[in-house]
Amino acid sequence: MRAGSADGSGMAALTLSCRLAAHPDSRCWFVAWSPSGALLASCGGDRSVRVWGRQGENWVCQAVLGEGHQRTVRKVAWSLCGSYLASASFDATTCIWKKTPDGFECVTTLEGHENEVKSVAWSPSGSLLATCSRDKSVWIWEVDEEDEYECVSVLNSHTQDVKHVVWHPSQELLASASYDDTVKLYREEEDDWVCFTTLEGHESTVWGLAFDGAGRRLASCSDDRTVRIWSSDEQGEPGVACSSTEPSWKCICTLSGYHTRTIYDVAWCRLTGAVATACGDDAIRVFEEEPLAEPQHPTFALTAHMSRAHAQDVNCVAWNPAEPGLLASCSDDGEVAFWRYQRPECC
């Protein structure tokens, strides 16, 4: 299967390499690669987390984490060392799983949110964990050497259901996306976590967020069927004086007109810079920045469009962190698919 192109020339290709019935008779909500790229964790409406490993050209289930949650597992995240997996559930808890020689063991259950936990993410240092919930809050947890978790901050800046949290790739800077149509950024100031900016522009729920490899840009995707690229002016444009030390973020590009339904996820490849989207129209699309555009006024071109990538809504896309062009996706049809993306020859 190859993605078609508008003009057929210089177009990249997305090729299916493997498809798994990962969560049969259920939704598969999210997939996450381990930091080495050797394992993929998936989660879904069957209340389980599954861990997949490569066997030749195929991917096989290595572990089923079935006993931790009473309701849907919405998202999963690996710690940066790869030894821990966190799972966020509609049962209002987050479980921490430790990888052992025999499989995975639930070592802690984080409680406190009033209702469904929608997302979880580990900070780049590995010492902080963020969770967010339909209760409109974002919680930051500190992990000590004894694997004890303590909530160090409850952030109530959003006015609605918080859908997603993601950390900056190198700094202790957190971003969250919400049903209130905004993105918020947080950092620690004088021993307390604060929301230091709100990114406004989306016209409906913001579902997903992804930083680029350098952390200077953030992509957001929304129910308004657009992807927005936000940029920090921290790196300092030549000749432009920064009036304050506060890095300000502004929207420098909007990808509109490409998606026909809600965009549920966006993934920005840290190896190649390619941006993939997961859409409610069953398609996966890949965009690349045009090489000749100015960095502060970038343009992105659609380089692959796989219509009917899945039989139902695509919920998540994730680039492998070690193997350039290897993309995993999952869908309401319960399946996980693995794709190979080849960059356009012109790039």
How far is residue 179's CA from residue 183's CA, in Å, rounded to a whole number? Answer: 10
**Which of 154, 311, 322, 346 is close enough to bind another protein by CB under 8 A?**
311
Q: How far is the CB of 224 from another protein (least distance, A)?
A: 11
**Which of 23, 74, 228, 305 is close enough to bind another protein by CB under 8 A?**
74
Say if CB 250 and CB 217 are below 8 A apart: no
Q: Quick one: residue 225, left, alpha or beta (phi over 0 = left, psi -120 to 50 = alpha)? A: left
- Residue 116, interface with another protein (CB under 8 A)? yes
Nearer to another protein, 184 or 225 (CB): 225
Q: How far is the CB of 206 from another protein (least distance, A)?
A: 12
181-192: string of b/e by CB count within 10 Å (b at 16+)?
A: bbbbbbeeeeee
> What's the distance, Cα to Cα, between the start and end of the chain in Å?
22
Binding mask 251-290 for another protein (x = CB under 8 A): ----------xx-----------------xx---------
- Residue 208, interface with another protein (CB under 8 A)? no
Sheet holding 49-55, edge to edge: 28-33, 39-44, 49-55, 58-65
Supply φ then ψ for residue 268, to 5 degrees. Answer: -110, 115
Dihedral sign, Cα of residue 90, residue 91, residue 94, residue 96 = negative
- Residue 36, interface with another protein (CB under 8 A)? no
- Residue 307, interface with another protein (CB under 8 A)? no
Residue with the two structure tokens 């957001």: 220
**Which of 12, 13, 27, 335 is close enough to bind another protein by CB under 8 A?**
27
- Residue 45, interface with another protein (CB under 8 A)? yes
Residues that bind another protein (CB under 8 A): 27, 45, 71-72, 74, 90, 115-116, 118, 134, 161, 163, 179, 204-205, 223, 261-262, 280-281, 311-313, 332-333
